Structure 1
Amino acid sequence: MNNASETSVAVIGLGLMGRSLAGAFLAAGHTNTVWNRTPAKAEGLVAQGARLAPTVGDALRASAITILCVTDYPAVRELFGTNDVDGTTLLNLTSGDSAQARDTARWFEQRGARYLDGAIMAVPQTIGTPDAMILHSGPQADFNAHRETLRALGTVSYLGADHGLAALYDVAGLTMMWSVLNAWLQGTAMLRTAGVDAATFAPFAQMMAAGVATWLPGYAEQIDSGSYPAEVAALETDARSMAHLIEECEALGVNAQLPKLFKALADRSIAAGHGGEQYPVLIEEFAKPHSG
């Protein structure tokens, strides 16, 4: 059992993100111990006041909470396979999937550790600012015990006791990111054929994305209730607009794969009898496994 104060933090893994995490803790005045396979990566942090631990075990014993930010979940198990973790508290901010998060939680808890899983929804340059969103999942009591310390990293969010939630939110957020970016790139490719550059289109695209985002709470109510009245437009109306989009892309010589995907999903839903319902009814198609 470690007896370190609540402001003592260890960071294991000093890539770009790990160094940013450790730097944020130092900037907030926390005692910071660091460890990395390549000790040279710690030199800048040591110059700022961090202590370089000779081993992972030393880092664990020096801290009230240990932050993990390494390559992947197998690397986590490799690092801690021979270390005594009984009585320690760990927050794993390594990227992975929800099954890995749950399996790793069981692995650590069976060895006597308190374990939180997390996801960093930010780039290294924003760590330590409100723009950095850090997601956490696992036992709420363990999160609450370190909430104030973790605020040094940015905006903290607790999602629930299921250790896999942070990883699930992470990939769901990536889905949103890539979908918005791909839609913008599709529109940009179309407008370039008329001599409109990306910088000119970007403000209009930003306005469209922000406007669509305001629909989400109302659409979420429909999904959660399982009822999709066509208050704005019926899906069959949207499908006709999708057909126009495909035709325009093909006429312009622009790749039409993305709008064809939209239309294929809508067509399947319409064929299942949902053409008169509103767009969120497509959740039924997204919820099905891919049939190949």
Structure 2
Amino acid sequence: MTNPTTVTVLGLGPMGHALASAFLAAGHRTTVWNRTPGKADDLLARGARAAGDPAEALAASELVVACVINYAAVHAILDPVADTLRGRTLVNLSADTPRAARDTAAWAAGHGVDYLDGAIMTPVPSIGTAEAVLLLSGAEPVYRAHEGTLAALGGTATYLGTDPGRAAAYDVALLDLFWTSVAGMTHAFALAAAEDVKAGELAPFAAGIGRLLPMMVEDHAARLDAARFDGDDANIVSATSTLEHIVATAEANGLSAGVQREVLALFRRAVEAGHGQDALAKLTEHV
């Protein structure tokens, strides 16, 4: 690397550790700090520098990357030493709400700190590989200035625009899809077990159902953007009947069906509003 950047990584949980490792592998001079000691030993063996406290960590680098549990933790670390961060760039790869991202961007501006907000959309093992996916938002000149350094994290980094809350908005929407799907999968296995269907017996068919989701994502997005909701292939009233069967079977077996009842209520709102014959994408208007 002809122009290595000095980088500090705050937070050495699994993801923060992976970020620091990737910066090191790319040849950047990397300083690390973690509230709990002892997590940096392998990084130090590879050439990383351990800071004794946050102020020392910030002073070490022109680019500071934070990866902790949420933005409250970011502020707990940075607020007492904000003056040390002045004139540097903070890339916040912690997770939180779009509002928290915008508030933190305003805080950074007030302290003379360049700021990018980001979201990591792939798991820890992807960092530093072609599979990594990062989303970033904030001032474009700041993003362009550090684009090359952030490329060390691998895969694709997509710049989403100047609104610092935009990356977090993508993050919460995408994780809404993911975790709600995980909840549905979990309930499905419980429902199957209650009817004496083993998990291994259900799994091949569950995987097949799961493969329908990417097609539905594309179809929903196209319909929503075009405001086209003809229900020729599948409609809301038909799906409502299926949900009623799911709730009835779950409750007959003594299972909780709170989430499924909420989904059923959504479908019924759409039917009652006169959209029973519309495509499932129309449900978005009734959330």
Q: TM class, shorter-chain normalised?
A: 0.7 to 0.9
Find the residue that maps to 1:67 and give its secondary structure.
strand
Please tell me whether residue 92 in structure 1 is matched to residue 95 in structure 2.
no
Q: Distance in 2 between matches of 1:161 and 1:215?
A: 30
Superposition deviation, residue 253 in structure 1? 4.8
- The 8 Å contact of residues 59 and 84 in structure 2, kept in 1 or not, is answered as no
Aligned equivalent of 2:124: 124
Q: Distance in 2 between matches of 1:193 and 1:279?
A: 29
What per-residue deviation string (whole Å, max 9, x for no partner) do you get for residues 186-222 of structure 1? 3222332454322332232122122232122222122
Q: Distance in 2 between matches of 1:42 and 1:284?
A: 48
Q: Distance in 2 between matches of 1:170 and 1:106?
A: 20
Aligned equivalent of 1:289: none
Cα 1:273–1:87 change in 2 (3 A) is same
| Unaligned segments of structure 1, at least 5 residues | 287-292
Please tell me whether residue 9 in structure 1 is matched to residue 7 in structure 2.
yes
Find the residue that maps to 1:137 and give its secondary structure.
strand
Superposition deviation, residue 263 in structure 1? 1.8
- The 8 Å contact of residues 4 and 29 in structure 2, kept in 1 or not, is answered as no
Aligned equivalent of 2:35: 37
Cα 1:250–1:73 change in 2 (3 A) is closer
- The 8 Å contact of residues 119 and 170 in structure 1, kept in 2 or not, is answered as yes
Aligned equivalent of 1:62: 60
- The 8 Å contact of residues 180 and 209 in structure 1, kept in 2 or not, is answered as no
Superposition deviation, residue 68 in structure 1? 0.9
Cα 1:102–1:277 change in 2 (3 A) is same
Superposition deviation, residue 283 in structure 1? 0.8
Greater mean deviation of Cα atoms: 131-140 or 252-261: 252-261
Superposition deviation, residue 236 in structure 1? 1.4
Q: Distance in 2 between matches of 1:141 and 1:238?
A: 48
- The 8 Å contact of residues 6 and 64 in structure 1, kept in 2 or not, is answered as no
State how many pairs are aligned: 282
Superposition deviation, residue 252 in structure 1? 4.8
Find the residue that maps to 2:84 and give its secondary structure.
coil
Q: Distance in 2 between matches of 1:154 and 1:263?
A: 41
Q: Distance in 1 between matches of 2:133 and 2:281?
A: 27
Provide the TM-score with structure 2 as the length reference.
0.88
Find the residue that maps to 2:38 and give its secondary structure.
helix
Identity of aligned residues (%): 39
Superposition deviation, residue 269 in structure 1? 1.3
Find the residue that maps to 2:117 and give its secondary structure.
strand
- The 8 Å contact of residues 64 and 90 in structure 2, kept in 1 or not, is answered as yes
Aligned equivalent of 2:275: 274
Please tell me whether residue 243 in structure 1 is matched to residue 240 in structure 2.
no
Superposition deviation, residue 280 in structure 1? 1.1
Q: Distance in 1 between matches of 2:233 and 2:198?
A: 32
Paired amino acid for 1:42: A
Cα 1:212–1:76 change in 2 (3 A) is closer
Paired amino acid for 1:60: L
Provide the TM-score with structure 1 as the length reference.
0.86
Cα 1:275–1:109 change in 2 (3 A) is same
Cα 1:70–1:211 change in 2 (3 A) is closer
Aligned equivalent of 1:78: 76
Aligned equivalent of 1:285: 286
Matches within 5 A, 1:137-216: 137-155=137-155, 156-216=157-217
